[in-house]
Chain A
Amino acid sequence: MTSSPAGANSRPSQRPLNTTVAPPEGDGVETSPKVADTVKRTTCYMCACRCGIEVHLDNGKIRYIGGNRKHPVNRGVLCGKGSAGIMQHYSPARLRKPLLRTGERGSGEFREIEWDEALKIATDRLANIRATDPKKLAFFTGRDQSQSLTGWWASRFGTPNFAAHGGFCSVNMAVAGLYTIGGSFWEFGEPDWDHARYFLLFGVAEDHDSNPIKIGIGKLKERGAKVVSVNPCRTGYNAVADEWVGIRPGTDGLFVLALVHELLKAGKIDLDYLIRFTNAAHLVINDPGAADDGLILRDAAGEPLVWDRASKSAKPANTRGVAPELAGSFEVGGRTVRPSFQLIAERYLDDAYSPDAVAERCGVPADQIRRIAAELAHAAFDQAIELPIAWTDMNGVRHETMTGRPVAMHAMRGISAHSNGFHTCRAIHLLQVLLGTVDVPGGFRSKAPFPKPVPPGPKPAGKDGGKPDSPLSDMPLGYVHAPEDLLVDENGGPIRIDKAYSWEAPLSAHGLMHTVIRNAWAGDPYKIDTLFMFMANMAWNSSMNTAETMKMLTDKEADGTYKIPFIIYSDAYFSETVPYADLILPDTTYLERHDCISLLDRPISSADAPGDAIRYPVVEPDRDVRAFQTVLLDLGARLGLPGMVADDGSPKYRDYADYIVNHERRPGVGPLAGWRGEIGDEHGKGAANPDQLDRYIENGGFWKYELPEEARYYKMANRAYLDFAHRMGFIDKAEPITFHLYSEVLQRFRLAARGHGDVRPPESERARIDRYFDPLPIWYTPLLEADVDTGALPLHALTQRPMHMYHSWGSQNAWLRQITNENRLFVHHATAAKHGIADDDWVWIESEHGRVKGQVRLVDGVNPDTVWTWNAIGKRHGTWGLSKDAPEATRGFLLNHTISDLLPAKGAQRRYSNSDPVTGQAAWFDLRVRLVKCAPAEAGMTEPQFPDLPAPPDMPKSPKVLSYGRLFRKLRAAAS
């Protein structure tokens, strides 16, 4: 069950030869050359996976980067990205020195300045904002792995306008999971790779947890477990699945609810599990028109009530020995109440959810849906497993074994990036919970610090919009439980620049980075002064409307000043966004910096072992660059932000490393959980340990704590686990965590829309809130699809990331771009034939918003109503150290040119963000297009094209020939 210290690839057929003594071949080959003089173990950053790496250094140069066998994430393996880290580190596109804009914004004209000048410019600007109206600073970070620092910094500055990139990444996955099972897919939980018999994978190509998923799929297939992938594209994992369900994009929720229909109808659900671990038995008030209609009936202490079968009366759910009813309708104190399971069963037993009713819409035959439901039931119930592990539940009842239902699920971007993604993800959790597979052997397992209580805390701070020279009361991002928690003004208007936590996106726990530039440009809801961004290529492939974004970033007022007055940007590389900023703060590469991969943020825990990790500098920068987090703390000290200065006004932290060791978020709780306490013998909570980083480095860059066997499953109700989680500070109280199949939080918003409560949506928003805040999972046509003429735009269009690349970083890498340096539009043979399109044709891909030109590759392995391409290959001429005729700029294209951040105009109605109406998740997978064959003269070059961007001053010319590694051969020759 626990990972072998020998690593993932330790099968007998993957081990060294039984004797590794070199044979006497006599051919002069040096079989034992020196490899390195130093090996340093740190954490990869070639994507979001956070694998452990061993960096072999010879004479200060990187000889080789391999996987760390002992590391819990990758267990010695390393993906195509991680193994190309050398080229990322030595990239010619690295920024070299702070830059100040000299030409027009967007021209790319800069002069180099010293750090002192750069920091003074930033400090003067920010100090003035903070003293007058702190919300005029919008601080948004991209692929940031230090959000517990950046969020804290924003809160100390006093601006509510902070978020990272989660709003256009995965907030649907986070929120749907946290509000349902207290944890989520993505990298915050994992399938039980060692026990699952059946694995259902939704919408995952190569997203997050990439090496663990690969290791896991290898294990499943070796054991003969069945892998079923639900994905419009048959790439990567989907190509090796035992069964590929080439579903129509955006219909996964309907497919899942049809599975739920089949399972309910056949009684293939785990009633015992539902009673013990969920709110299925909780009594829901049925009193249409009343202010508490649809809420859960509670006793005076707030404990939910259930209907006890024995006494035929309502009892608190936590009553010892209660035998709750799951179906029926009862009268309690004059109120009509029904167990929430009654509502679930009534809804999904309806023929509207039958396989026959959804098959055409999903593009999946009804017989296939019925069969998959039967297979799920077979695996969960006929192949149930018992692990001989005794454990004690929260009622103090000891169980001699752990029962497992070996069906595991995982889902990500293909669910997340649709405007119905929140409810679809809830539907998947409903399916898992009905089968009784969450946090049981063989199922989906949370990783610490999850599961958390449902709904999670804390609530978002910044309701007052921030006050001059004052910090916020808490962190700007959090979780709302009711309309009262929204960040709206007395008229119901948004407080935040991105309109997060407003009626437009009430549960937007990750903010809406994709709306910031438009809103700041439009002054909606207000003008800002400074946009401060880190590591987000918003002027190119991270935006939902590339050309418009560039226009907004450069647009001016009548008086000639920029509509977004000042832009500060920090990145390590010369990306397309650099020329659109006024002040550039050059960051280091991932091998030159400290980082902490923290339990306060997104740790490296596995289901068996909570853990966290660090990065530390394994090579020194050869440029005048500084780690962004250190710069942020420096700015904080210069601004005198509370918590960042000592009593005498001097900087509290020397740099980020000092903060990692000495910062305490709560007494005894800091960024790292390992080796705390003055002598380093405490874990979780404890005093700061000055030697903490050394201890991490000695241990290979990470810390993990192996949970005892009894604490590894049933974490939502497991005494040993919950006591541990409380001691560690993961949860405030050691109390059982109840899964919310029926969401009272959603119902509270619906009630507000129906006129109840003190905080109600403006008239214009009521119908929308009422519709989308259904307390049970619903499916609806993705918003854009419902608004456009699907006859004129007959195809879905998707992008996905190649397994060997991570955003625009990866496609610039000298090795990785040799594998992929242009992207085709993949079109099904039959669809192409219908449109008169042949392989290699150039086509215009046209949406309601714009068009882009690309070249076609015909395939079978795609849903016929769908076209797709690789993400973030297309680059702007002149950027990233690439030559002006690089294929990335001449033939690589971005679908972003066809994606709008707004839904189409409908008469006089305000245009809504093209986002999930519950969470604000950017719905870039909802795109609809048509293909128009190019005229012969148009073929050969992608469009739109934009002017060349000049390289920043002093950036070296990229080499014409790369002979990386020659040095090591010379060193070996010299030594021998």
Chain B
Amino acid sequence: MTSLPSSTDRKLGLVIDLDTCVGCQACVTSCKEWNTGGHMAPLTDIEPYGAEPDGVWFNRVHTYEQATDTGSRTVHFPRSCLHCETPACVTVCPTGASYKRSSDGIVLVDEDKCIGCKLCSWACPYGAREYDTEVRVMKKCTLCVDRIYNENLPEEDRVPACVAACPVGARHFGDLGDPASPVSRLVEEREGVDLMPELGYRPVNKYLPPRARPSGSDESAPAQLEPVTAEGGFFGWVDRMLSG
């Protein structure tokens, strides 16, 4: 079994805004294209042109309808590794392949140590692990560890691929261990939540819930307009307005 660092210097993670995610899959494919040539390359695709195409993806978006007080809403829900503070996928690993970095908290898999036993994917309640049947190792989100520090990229590009690509700007990245960091402040301001906190794995990634949507209008707008009351009705009103 693999042990966890007692603490990490930073808690790097993602903050995902469910208020604005339109389900466009940009984070999904930008992740795929970066990572299929990246640290865990390749992200193998089996039967890519066949009956049951199935590949390794570090990030997937699910769309479903959720009941609300007034009916239902359609939710787009991006799902990837949450880089938990106490991840079961690490503690369950028999070889030390699955580990949490003490510097930045990123949960990674060391492919050389992975025996493909899949215990980690059974242990992860978030379904964030992806077994590559061709290479026979477990793969997962690296938080783009090969982008965020990459000296071969311009500094402004050193963010996870999904954060750079997201067209609505629904994805954010930073140190969630630092209460003063922009992501921490965003989580505080928008009352960001953990996914299934009751399980106790203390996810680092946070989700921002949809903003309250007034069923009615802008608070200050009237519920309906009143007809003009000038003498002569509407045309009288026009006349008065033009005379003014």
Using CB atoms and an 8 Å cutoff, list the residues of chain A in contact with chain B.
6-9, 11-17, 20-25, 27-35, 58, 63-67, 69, 74, 76-84, 86, 92, 197-198, 206, 210-211, 214-215, 217-219, 221-222, 226, 234-240, 242-243, 262-268, 271, 309, 323, 325-328, 341-342, 345, 349, 367, 370-375, 377-379, 382, 803-804, 814-819, 821, 859-861, 881-883, 885-887, 890, 958-969
Contacts and interface: CB of A to CB of B under 8 A. Distances in A.
Given A17-B174, A86-B33, A860 B26 contact: no
Contacts of A341: 238
B201 to A, nearest CB: 21
18 contacts: A9-B159, A13-B15, A15-B156, A17-B175, A77-B164, A77-B167, A78-B165, A84-B33, A219-B169, A236-B22, A236-B23, A239-B74, A271-B241, A374-B222, A382-B220, A882-B49, A961-B44, A961-B46
B75 to A, nearest CB: 7
B156 to A, nearest CB: 7
Given A25-B102, A31-B145, A373-B225, A966 B41 contact: yes
Contacts of B161: 66
Given A67-B164, A79-B25, A378-B221, 19 more contacts: A11-B182, A15-B156, A25-B102, A25-B103, A31-B145, A32-B146, A77-B164, A215-B169, A222-B20, A367-B223, A373-B225, A374-B222, A375-B217, A816-B25, A883-B47, A961-B45, A962-B44, A963-B45, A965-B37
B216 to A, nearest CB: 7
Counting chain A CB atoms within 10 Å of each CB, the highest count among B34, B165, B230 belongs to B165
Nearest to B40: A969
Nearest to A66: B164
B244 to A, nearest CB: 10
A29 B145 CA distance: 8
B234 interface: yes
B224 A964 contact: no
A15 B34 CA distance: 18
A521 B102 CA distance: 72
The 5 closest A-B pairs by CB, nearest first: A80-B25, A23-B103, A214-B167, A266-B225, A965-B37
A745 B150 CA distance: 61
A240 B235 CA distance: 40
A559 B98 CA distance: 73
B196 interface: no
A133 B151 CA distance: 64
B213 A243 contact: yes
B71 interface: yes
A23 B104 contact: yes
Interface string B27-52: 01110111111110111111111111
Nearest to A24: B103
A16 B160 CA distance: 9
Contacts of B210: 240
A77 B165 contact: yes
Contacts of A58: 37
B4 to A, nearest CB: 14
Interface of B: 9-10, 12, 15, 19-26, 28-30, 32-39, 41-55, 57, 65, 71-76, 99, 101-104, 108, 110, 134, 145-146, 148-153, 155-159, 161, 163-175, 181-183, 185-186, 210-211, 213-218, 220-228, 230, 234-235, 237-239, 241-243
A266 to B, nearest CB: 4
A9 B164 contact: yes
Given A217-B20, A370-B223, A32 B53 contact: no
B224 A16 contact: no
A821 B22 contact: no
B65 to A, nearest CB: 5
Given A22-B149, A86-B33, A962-B44, A271 B225 contact: no
B82 to A, nearest CB: 17
A77 B157 CA distance: 12
Counting chain A CB atoms within 10 Å of each CB, the highest count among B24, B32, B161 belongs to B24
A969 B65 CA distance: 40
Contact of B9 (A23, A78, A264, A370): A23
B49 A267 contact: no
Nearest to A379: B218
Contact of A84 (B21, B29, B73, B221): B29
A377 B225 contact: yes
B53 A817 contact: yes
B234 A31 contact: no
Nearest to B75: A239
A828 to B, nearest CB: 11
A26 to B, nearest CB: 9
Contacts of A198: 218
A265 B48 contact: no
A955 B213 CA distance: 53
A814 B48 contact: yes
Contacts of A238: 74
A217 B55 CA distance: 31
Given A14-B163, A29-B145, A32-B151, A240 B19 contact: yes
A32 B150 contact: yes
Contacts of A65: 33
Contacts of A265: 225, 227-228, 234
A378 B74 contact: no
A14 B162 CA distance: 11
Nearest to B173: A14
Contacts of B228: 265-267
B146 A33 contact: yes
Nearest to B170: A218
A79 B182 contact: no
B214 A327 contact: no
A263 B148 CA distance: 53
B152 A378 contact: no
B22 A214 contact: yes
B145 A962 contact: no
B28 A819 contact: yes
Contacts of B74: 234-235, 238-239, 861
A31 B146 contact: yes
A861 B72 contact: yes
A333 to B, nearest CB: 24
B142 to A, nearest CB: 8
A327 B165 contact: no
A973 B21 CA distance: 38
B218 A78 contact: no
Contacts of B238: 267, 271, 326-327, 341, 345
Contacts of A309: 242-243
A240 B42 contact: no
Counting chain B CB atoms within 10 Å of each CB, the highest count among A263, A367, A371 belongs to A371
A847 to B, nearest CB: 27
Nearest to A5: B156
Counting chain B CB atoms within 10 Å of each CB, the highest count among A12, A24, A218, A323 belongs to A218
A239 B22 contact: yes
A958 B150 contact: no
B31 to A, nearest CB: 8
A24 B101 CA distance: 10
Counting chain A CB atoms within 10 Å of each CB, the highest count among B73, B159, B168, B234 belongs to B168
A887 B164 contact: no
B242 A31 contact: no
B241 A267 contact: yes
A267 B244 CA distance: 14
A235 B22 CA distance: 8
Contacts of A78: 26, 30, 165, 167
B41 A965 contact: yes
B51 A21 contact: no
A269 to B, nearest CB: 9
A465 B51 CA distance: 50
Nearest to B27: A80
A263 B228 CA distance: 10
Contacts of B36: 964-965
A74 B169 CA distance: 12
Given A80-B24, A236-B24, A885-B50, A964 B155 contact: no
